């Protein structure tokens, strides 16, 4: 059976990162998968991003330019969660798997039809439609006691909430299970996680991830120390993929720094950084500027 895979990219003003992600999808998604790609752009204005979106359209990729001004836009990540809800509710094909990606991510190895079906079956062991297929950041390896191996997948325990995680904004979604449950995506990752746990219980964390977040991404309220430099990953070698699949799952967690290498031999301090948070002053200044300019403040997305 040919798996239907709908890939949804949520993008805002990071054209160079978006181009890198698109290139990795072309290389990483096997031709035996019935894949379809949709970019949901959150009102980008950056010239580089608009150029990449036009290139994608010429290639036949569907680009959805959001025009909604609903209350969901006021969330800390702009229209991300409204976009996820729209993609899963209205755009995904019936009985497909939907891969939720953001523009500062990358497919890091080849993914074939049989593996996607295996992941679908792992998810259905839990009745949770969301499966985490992303490499973990090194920081999580320091909290090894929170990661529990159960049969063919991990579970992540959250000491703060005193429960297992049930949802993340980047994951693989079983559309048949999702729609049958009439589940509603909330206007934040935290709220959706709480609702998903109440309705489904824990989500499975796939032991052999194939997506990863790029370290040191650009942030929208200022340029970081690396400017517009994209720290992309080199595609995993055959040996690295073999190490990933043959490792002792109990002893070795799927941490990005352990299995992935940066393109062209680039070196960054470890653990890699994935998100910078603004100071209180930066938040206040950003909100005031947003009001003055008629735009909403978006910290990351």
Identify which of 261, 240, 258, 211 has the alpha carbon closest to the alpha carbon of residue 108. Answer: 211
Q: What's the pLDDT score for residue 164?
A: 94
Q: What's the pLDDT score for residue 67?
A: 58
Q: What's the pLDDT score for residue 296?
A: 39
Q: What's the pLDDT score for residue 161?
A: 86
3-class DSSP assignment, residue 241: helix
Helical H segments across the chain, by residue range: 15-28, 47-59, 80-86, 113-124, 138-141, 175-180, 189-200, 238-246, 256-259, 280-293
Q: Fold for domain 1-301? A: Spore Coat Polysaccharide Biosynthesis Protein SpsA; Chain A (3.90.550)
Sort residue 116 into left (φ over 0), alpha (ψ -120 to 50) or beta: alpha
Q: What's the pLDDT score for residue 229?
A: 85
Identify which of 39, 37, 43 has the alpha carbon closest to the alpha carbon of residue 18. Answer: 39
Q: What's the pLDDT score for residue 254?
A: 95
Whether the Cβ atoms of residue 169 and residue 84 lie closer than 8 Å to each other: yes
Residue-range domain boundaries for the chain:
1-301
- The mean pLDDT values, 10 residues at a time, for the chain of 301 residues are 95 94 97 96 92 97 77 59 96 98 97 97 95 87 78 91 94 98 96 97 97 80 56 96 97 94 90 66 57 43 34
């Amino acid at each position: 059976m040919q798996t239907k895979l709908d890939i949804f990219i949520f993008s805002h003003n990071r054209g160079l990162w978006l181009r890198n992600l698109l290139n990795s999808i072309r290389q990483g998604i096997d031709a035996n998968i019935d894949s379809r790609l949709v970019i949901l752009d959150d009102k980008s204005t950056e010239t580089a991003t608009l150029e990449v979106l036009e290139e994608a359209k010429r290639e036949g990729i569907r680009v959805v330019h959001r025009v909604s001004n609903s209350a969901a836009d006021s969330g800390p990540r702009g229209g991300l969660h409204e976009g996820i809800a729209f993609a899963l509710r209205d755009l995904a094909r019936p009985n497909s798997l939907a891969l939720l990606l953001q523009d500062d991510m990358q497919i890091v190895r080849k993914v074939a039809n049989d593996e996607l079906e295996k992941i679908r079956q792992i998810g259905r062991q839990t009745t949770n439609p969301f499966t985490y297929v992303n490499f973990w950041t090194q920081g999580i390896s320091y909290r090894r006691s929170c990661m529990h191996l159960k049969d063919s997948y991990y579970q992540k325990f959250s000491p703060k909430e005193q429960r297992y995680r049930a949802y993340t904004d980047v994951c693989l979604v079983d559309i048949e299970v999702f729609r049958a449950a009439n589940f509603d995506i909330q206007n934040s990752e935290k709220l959706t996680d709480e609702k998903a746990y109440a309705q489904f219980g824990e989500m499975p964390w796939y032991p052999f991830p194939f997506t990863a977040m790029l370290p040191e991404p650009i942030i929208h309220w200022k340029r970081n120390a690396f400017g517009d430099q994209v720290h992309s990953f080199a595609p995993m070698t055959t040996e690295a993929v073999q190490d990933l699949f043959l490792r002792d799952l109990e002893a070795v967690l799927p941490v990005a720094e352990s299995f992935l290498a940066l393109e062209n031999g680039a070196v960054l301090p470890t653990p890699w950084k994935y998100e910078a948070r603004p100071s209180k002053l930066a938040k206040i200044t950003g909100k005031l500027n947003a009001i003055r300019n008629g735009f909403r403040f978006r910290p990351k997305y």
